[in-house]
Amino acid sequence: MAKFLLSLHVLASVLFIGPVAVAVSMFPRKARAALAGGPDRAADAGILRTLHRITQVYALLGIAVPVMGIGVAQVMDVLGQSWLIVSMVLTALAGLSLLLFVLPAQQAAVDALDLDADAAEHGKAVQGLKLLPMTAGVFNLLWAVVVVLMIIRPGSTTGV
C-alpha cells in the first residue's frame, strides 16, 4: 500500500506542482511585455492570463500533494522524522509565498491589462512586478529543496 500511495504522491507532485513552477517562472517576463505594449501586446496579454489561470488552478490541485504526502508518511510511519518535518515546513512556506506574494502580484498585473486608462494602477502593477521574479524563484527553490529532502531523506530509518 505504501508504494502505491507514494507513487500517487510523486505523480501528483509532477502533474500539479510542475505546471505551477513553470507558469510562475514564465509570468514576470510575459507581464513586462504585455504591460509595456507593443505590437504583440494582445498575444502577450492572452499568454499572461493563461499563465495566471494555470497558476491558480494547479495551485489548488497541488494541495493534494502535501495531503497525500501526510498519508504516505503515516503509512510508512515516518511522521516524526526530521527530514519530513523540514519538508512539511518548506512546503508550507512555498504555499504561503504563492498565496501571499505570487498570486496577488499576478492578479495585479492581469488587472492592469484592463486598466490602461488608469495610469496610477498601471504603474502600481509594473512596480509590483519588480519583486515577482524573486518570489517566483523563492517558490521554486523551496520546492527544489523539498524534492531533494524527499529523495535523500537524511537520517531516515525506513530503508525504503
H or E segment at 120?
helix 119-128
CB-CB contact of 20 with 13 (8 Å): no
Cell of 62: 497541488
What proportion of the chain, given as a percentage, has pLDDT over 90? 68
What does residue 67 show for φ and ψ, rounded to 5 degrees? Answer: -65, -50
Does pLDDT of 28 surpass 70?
Answer: yes
Q: Kindly report whether the global pTM for this prediction surpasses the value 0.85.
A: yes
Instruction: Lowest mean pLDDT of 45-54, 80-89, 135-144, 148-157, name the range.
Output: 148-157
Cell of 160: 525504503
pLDDT at residue number 2: 86
Does pLDDT of 6 surpass 60?
Answer: yes
pLDDT in tens, 29-81: 999 888 887 788 889 999 999 999 999 999 999 999 999 999 999 999 999 99
Does pLDDT of 86 surpass 90?
Answer: yes
